[in-house]
Amino acid sequence: MTTTYRDALRQAMVEEIERDENVFLIGEDIGRYQGTFRVTQGLFERFKQHRVLDTPISEPGIVGIATGAAMMGLRPIVEMMTMSFSILALDQIINHAAKIHYMSGGQFKVPIVIRGPGGAANQLSAQHSHSMEGWYAHVPGLKVVAPSTVEDAYGMLKTAVRDDNPVIFTENPGLYSLKGEIPDDKEFTLPFGKCAIRHEGSDITLVGYSRMTHVCAEAAEALDQDGVSAEVIDVRSLLPLDAETIFASVRKTNRALVVYEDWKSGGFGAEIAARIQESCFDYLDAPVGRVGGLNVPMPYARNLELMCIPNKEDVLAAARQLLA
Amino acid sequence: MTTTYRDALRQAMVEEIERDENVFLIGEDIGRYQGTFRVTQGLFERFKQHRVLDTPISEPGIVGIATGAAMMGLRPIVEMMTMSFSILALDQIINHAAKIHYMSGGQFKVPIVIRGPGGAANQLSAQHSHSMEGWYAHVPGLKVVAPSTVEDAYGMLKTAVRDDNPVIFTENPGLYSLKGEIPDDKEFTLPFGKCAIRHEGSDITLVGYSRMTHVCAEAAEALDQDGVSAEVIDVRSLLPLDAETIFASVRKTNRALVVYEDWKSGGFGAEIAARIQESCFDYLDAPVGRVGGLNVPMPYARNLELMCIPNKEDVLAAARQLLA
Amino acid sequence: MVRMRAFEDQSVRAFRSGLAGGYLHVYTGMEATAIGWLSSRQPDDPIITAYRDHAHALYLGIDPVVCMAEIMGRAKGTSKGKGGSMHLYSADHHFYGGWGIVGGHTALGAGLGFAIKYKGGNQVAHCFLGDGAANAGVFFEVMNMASLWDLPVIFIIENNEFAMGTRLEFHAADPEMHKRAEGFNMHHERIDGMDVIDVRRDAQRIISNVRETSRPALIEVMNYRYAGHGAADNDQTLYRSQQEVELAWKRDPVHRLANLLTEQYGVNKQILEKIQREAEEEMEGVYDEAAASPKPEPDEVYSDVYTDMQPERGH
Amino acid sequence: MVRMRAFEDQSVRAFRSGLAGGYLHVYTGMEATAIGWLSSRQPDDPIITAYRDHAHALYLGIDPVVCMAEIMGRAKGTSKGKGGSMHLYSADHHFYGGWGIVGGHTALGAGLGFAIKYKGGNQVAHCFLGDGAANAGVFFEVMNMASLWDLPVIFIIENNEFAMGTRLEFHAADPEMHKRAEGFNMHHERIDGMDVIDVRRDAQRIISNVRETSRPALIEVMNYRYAGHGAADNDQTLYRSQQEVELAWKRDPVHRLANLLTEQYGVNKQILEKIQREAEEEMEGVYDEAAASPKPEPDEVYSDVYTDMQPERGH
Ligand SMILES: Cc1ncc(C[n+]2csc(CCOP(=O)(O)OP(=O)(O)O)c2C)c(N)n1
Ligand SMILES: Cc1ncc(C[n+]2csc(CCOP(=O)(O)OP(=O)(O)O)c2C)c(N)n1
Ligand SMILES: [Mg+2]
Ligand SMILES: [Mg+2]
């Protein structure tokens, strides 16, 4: 079936709500208001307040309540209006939800999904444009995924809901209207910890996730025209990370460029780059390159904002330098 | 003068409080109770509540109040009882304090210092043992320092207080009783963004900061005995980062190992490693190695806890592998 | 009030025409609150509010062209175009912003009060927030500290009955939000916010009390927002009826003041019409001037991150 | 109570002897609160508290050896030695911990109430917190939601008059902390916590009311901690006088109950002495057994991070 990223997310939630009575949605303006990005459109009317709960603006409290409920067996899906607001709930996420299973010696499980738009949209300014996935991927006890395709959005959200651990599920706002196919199978799920190869190639490996996968794919097509064959790897799941697939590609192409929207310095791309050179040192014909967001708070003016977010040209320039 | 890391911090604060009437301390149990790690011992009696303020347990509120006060020209030093509690205040730190200068087009300054013990101490368990400096060093608008010596603690804290930007100042609890010299000069300050070479060598560069600098130094001495000459670089300031000094060392030794206590995956050591291989690729005889904390919530049991924190043996093992 | 409203009309126009982006929230319907309140401040009192900040900025005297330029992301804007609609600031006018994280700025507001007290000044800090913001945990933390430490700060809840698409009764266990100060031994009351004269009278009383005692207060001002939550909120029927909005228009503070002026003070209607017309013309001019002003230079992206250095450059 | 107190004596002994590390907080002086309250719960009611959790764990019936083993970081501990003194848990006993971030667990407590309501159960969630914790922002957020959504949860402030070294009056703008529920349209009251019979009577009344109405409540129980904040708190004169502590000992809940039993119920003093002796002997045995039990295997460090996978291994 052809659908959009947004609708695929919604369908996954509908199916999981219907499958398991413990699954429910909780978040700000997700019910009556239909969600600010309309991901939850129609669900309040369909499932009523019991399963689709509007909350006050209280991110720490919302995540904490969902976590406590999860300890008693419920399976909450928390929508963050934007992932930038999850910063307020970080103590609940990383110092409570992520640690309960360990601190209780395995007695309690926390099957909670925290999802929402992450990354820059369109002039939302400095406080609303964060890419949080790199921070989360640093935290043992969490799983962190960032699907780039409609099928992945669908299959990985279903996996997330069925996972017994806290899952951070980040959706780049630029992807919501993306079109794609999903299978007609309510039991369709996609495992975490598997990269996908989006474009095969032999001269350089471009590693991206979320919307940057598409930027990498565009760059790969432009490189094709230059006669350079680029392989595009979609990381999909940052934690667990399928490093082996990346390594296998780099051992073939001998060059790697990691692309991410988050601030370049200290972003998760640094981890990927560090691991590639650790494991593929003898195969590398050039240093592992990185393209990341500019190291500045996101400016409002559109011309400045566009400078901050990596685009095809930035990737091409970096790739050409590695190939030179 | 010979003193301890703890006393040097205190002396720096005393001198800055006396120098500038806008400098004050604020935090939990820093006054009457003398501070949980006794860094502020005696200061409440000496400077009274006006300059040394005990607060309720309200980290977000404390940091926010200090930030607002800083916008009006005060220079607060906020003590976090442990840096783990700064997680509650992250929204105030990274989404307010760090962005004000930029968002206001340079109209407002935020001369605030947030300091306290960061990293594992002794069986404080999962919720109290965080190394936060890597996260902070990812955030443009913050400066982040992690001094390892008594002199640095003294000189860098004075610099931090005089800086017009928000500074995260992290103190490993294992360092408080460290002894060392400080100059007899109230105007002594140490600039941020300069690495220090703690041990010269020519065969491998060990890069560390905070307490791990000492672990590297121990390892370097053990390597000396093996006839291997290791250079130990103390990063001191993560943001700004003096990458050039690190690069210069690696170009000499041709091998690098980055050591940090934080969880290995996604820690700031990944950024350092990524940068080294980007800039020194042609000089490297082995991949840039990393030694980090185990990727698990900190366990309580002492035998498990000790496994998590990198020690001399871990560094030696990794160094020998790179040298092999 | 008519200038504010005319300004907001132009800011919405900027959004519609694509000259402004992101989130843009207008103050239409709530004018009596900001004007009544701010007209009672002392000129050097620090003021802080959330993202619905155009009215406060204008009233404090910031040049409307500079505000509009900011909203359009231009170099001559209050923040050189880096802040946008939600993040207006002016140190010269003691305007401390302009903030996007709901509730977050209330801590800064308490900090302004803290600095006043620390320095021994006689100002009062005025911190505006929404009804939705009064659910944020940090707000309670700072109410406690403000009271504990006798900070001269007033928290003014602009209760427009909605937090985005969530009606007061669905987000507040007790819709009388001023009662939240009860547990902190802090003065609190609810006042009407649709009549600018009433607001001014109440504000004068409350502010001078806070200034004298250095005891903080929580004031809930009841008003209503006529526009959608933000300029992109295009289906208000999701959370309120057309009827309800029409009924609320009957309480329009601009009309109310106009009626008062014509009926009680015998002001000629034509004068009011002239004021209205002039305001509209002024703000059209403001729009044009801002729209014609230059965008920030590319290298501006790296400036103002720090006071004394630049961040690591490049992708 | 005497078992609890004897257990705490042994846990302090473990700390002093180096068998326990980190932060260790004993409940001595506050026993009437946990016992009076928990004796009134329904057996399947979920319970949650902060780091001062030994007493709650013991009263709920968790084997003292297993608790002590946890405190000593041993494999047979409640959390296999990975949690420690602050993080005792027992799913079997509906004991949801044992938490170290002050105030953070109150959100989880509200979540327990949420789950009860969602599933249509008739339990009540009991969430204990300290007076210091009642200043944490998240606590207010969840009070609001608990009331808004009619969650069957009771927040019990164990007000022992201190948050570490900070006295109540230095941290709370209004020392009657129960009033903090006032703004949330929630039942609140303050009760005495030094007499176990009184606590039990009040708890029964309050709990059955919450169970019937599914309306949350905030109860402030006044007690006193005789010990230092934690086992490492070795200079209590910094924040209270010897005199004050001695005076508080006069209200000792253990003595109070003993007096009641001997004077009103004619219980023989020797019986009480025997109970005391037996408790001490039992807990010495507990200490020895826990101390003799094995430490966790090294590979345990990687287990229980996830339910279904291991993290990336190695340094
Ligand atoms: C912490 C946080 N959560 C959510 C949002 C998204 N958001 C922006 S405005 C708003 C509604 C706020 O309502 P209120 O405080 O009443 O102010 P009003 O818009 O009515 O002026 C929400 C939920 C945000 N900006 N920050
Ligand atoms: C968020 C946070 N801030 C600070 C601390 C350090 N701390 C541990 S216990 C404590 C005092 C808490 O007092 P209270 O809530 O009254 O509980 P009591 O110890 O009296 O039982 C503090 C400040 C912490 N654990 N978490
Ligand atoms: Mg509102
Ligand atoms: Mg207490």
Q: Please give the sequence-ordered ranges of beta strands (E in DSSP) within chain D, or none if there are none.
A: 47-48, 125-130, 153-159, 162-163, 166-167, 187-192, 217-222
Q: For position A148, what pLDDT does the model report?
A: 98
Element (H, E) at B79: strand B75-79
Q: What are the residues whose beta carbons fall under 8 Å from the beta carbon of C283, sequence distance 6 or more? A: C3, C6, C7, C9, C10, C64
Residues in a beta bridge with B208: B234
Alpha helices (H) along chain A:
5-19, 43-51, 59-71, 90-94, 100-103, 133-136, 150-162, 211-225, 243-253, 268-280, 302-308, 312-323
- Ligand 1 contact, C102 CB (< 6 A): yes
CA–CA separation, C277 vs A236, rounded Å?
A: 57
For residue C255, give how far its alpha carbon lies from the nearest alpha carbon of chain B (Å). 35
CA–CA separation, A155 vs A136, rounded Å?
A: 21
Residue in chain D closest to B33 (alpha carbons) equals: D165
For residue D164, give Cα distances in angstroms to A28, B63, B249, D102, D208: 36, 20, 47, 11, 33
**What digits encode the pLDDT tens for the residues B81-101?**
999 999 999 999 999 999 999
- Residues lower than pLDDT 70 in chain C: none
Q: Please give the share of chain C, as a percent, with pLDDT higher than 90.
A: 100
Please state, rounded to an integer, the average pLDDT across all residues of chain A: 98
Q: For position B59, what pLDDT does the model report?
A: 98
Nearest alpha carbon to residue A117 among A160, A73, A86, A76:
A86
Nearest alpha carbon to residue B208 among B268, B260, B166:
B260
CA–CA separation, B307 vs C152, rounded Å?
A: 51
For residue B60, give how far its alpha carbon lies from the nearest alpha carbon of chain C (Å). 6
DSSP string spanning B193-252?
S--EEEE--SSEEEEE-THHHHHHHHHHHHHHHTT--EEEEE--EEETT-HHHHHHHHHH
Q: Is the pLDDT of residue B321 over 90?
A: yes
Taken in order A233, A237, A242, A247, the sign of the CA dihedral is positive
Q: Is the pLDDT of residue D194 over 90?
A: yes
**What digits encode the pLDDT tens for the residues A298-321?**
999 999 999 999 999 999 999 999
CA atoms within 13 A on the CB side of B303: 14
Q: Whose CA is nearest to atom 10 of ligand 1?
A: C164
Closest atom of ligand 2 to D230 CA is 19
**What digits encode the pLDDT tens for the residues B264-311?**
999 999 999 999 999 999 999 999 999 999 999 999 999 999 999 999
Are the CB atoms for D83 and D131 separated by under 8 Å?
no
Phi-psi region of C190 (alpha: psi -120 to 50; beta: other; left: phi over 0): beta
Average pLDDT over residues A158-178: 98
Residues in a beta bridge with B170: B116
DSSP collapsed to 3 states, D48-76? ECCCCCHHHHHHCCCCHHHHHHHHCCCCC
Element (H, E) at A239: strand A237-239
CA–CA separation, C184 vs C142, rounded Å?
A: 10
Residue in chain B closest to A289 (alpha carbons) equals: B278
Whether residues C107 and B109 touch (CB distance < 8 A) is answered with no
Q: Is the pLDDT of residue A244 over 90?
A: yes
Mutation pick from C145, C148, C150 vs chain B, by most beta carbons of B within 10 Å, is C145
**What digits encode the pLDDT tens for the residues C37-70?**
999 999 999 999 999 999 999 999 999 999 999 9
Q: For position B80, what pLDDT does the model report?
A: 98
Give the residues surrounding ligand 2 with Cβ less than 6 Å away. Answer: B 28, 57, 59, 81, 85, 88; D 25, 52, 100-102, 130-133, 160, 162-164, 229
Nearest alpha carbon to residue D189 among D222, D225, D230:
D222
Q: What are the residues whose beta carbons fall under 8 Å from the beta carbon of A280, sequence distance 6 or more? A: A247, A250, A251, A256
Listed by number, the residues of chain A in 262-301 with a beta carbon closer than 8 Å to a beta carbon of chain D are none
Q: What is the CATH number of domain B196-323?
A: 3.40.50.920
Q: For position B74, what pLDDT does the model report?
A: 98
Q: Are strands D166-167 and D162-163 parallel, antiparallel or unpaired?
A: antiparallel
Which ipTM value was assigned to this complex?
A: 0.98
Question: Residue A109: which of D87, D104, D307 has the nearest Cβ?
Answer: D307
C292: tokens are 């014609």
Domain edges within chain D? 2-295
Identical fold, A2-181 and A196-323: yes
Are the CB atoms for B272 and B254 separated by under 8 Å?
no
Average pLDDT over residues D39-61: 98
Which residues of C fall within a CB distance of 8 Å from B141? 305-306
CA–CA separation, A222 vs A85, rounded Å?
A: 36
B274: tokens are 């990524």
As annotated, the active-site residues of B are 59, 128
Please state, rounded to an integer, the average pLDDT across all residues of chain D: 97
CA–CA separation, B303 vs B323, rounded Å?
A: 29
Q: For position D234, what pLDDT does the model report?
A: 86
Centre of ligand 1 from the C-alpha of residue A35, in Å: 13
Q: For position B88, what pLDDT does the model report?
A: 98
Q: How many CB pairs under 8 A join A and B?
A: 137
- Its CATH class, for the domain covering B2-181, is alpha beta
**What digits encode the pLDDT tens for the residues D136-165?**
999 999 999 999 999 999 999 999 999 999
**What digits encode the pLDDT tens for the residues D275-304?**
999 999 999 999 999 999 999 999 999 999
Whether residues C91 and B107 touch (CB distance < 8 A) is answered with yes
Are the CB atoms for A141 and D305 separated by under 8 Å?
yes
C177: tokens are 């939000």
Q: For position C234, what pLDDT does the model report?
A: 86
Ligand 2 pocket: which of D30, D33, D139, D164 to mutate (most atoms within 8 A of CB)? D164
CA–CA separation, A132 vs B318, rounded Å?
A: 31
Q: Which of A59, A231, A261, A305 is catalytic?
A: A59
Q: Please give the sequence-ordered ranges of beta strands (E in DSSP) within C113-238, or none if there are none.
A: 125-130, 153-159, 162-163, 166-167, 187-192, 217-222
Q: A128 catalytic, yes or no? A: yes
For residue A19, give Cα distances in angstroms to A13, A152, A187, A226, B311: 10, 20, 10, 50, 49
Q: Is B281 on the interface with A (CB under 8 A)?
A: yes
Q: What are the residues whose beta carbons fall under 8 Å from the beta carbon of D255, sequence distance 6 or more? A: none
Closest atom of ligand 1 to C100 CA is 25
Average pLDDT over residues D50-71: 98
Q: What is the CATH number of domain D2-295?
A: 3.40.50.970
Which residues of A fall within a CB distance of 8 Å from C139? none
Rounded (to 5) percent helix, strand, coil in chain D = 50, 10, 40
Closest atom of ligand 2 to D134 CA is 15
Residues in a beta bridge with B24: B76
CA–CA separation, C159 vs C134, rounded Å?
A: 10
Taken in order C262, C264, C266, C271, the sign of the CA dihedral is negative
Listed by number, the residues of chain D in 18-77 with a beta carbon closer than 8 Å to a beta carbon of chain A are 46, 48, 77
Domain edges within chain B? 2-181, 196-323
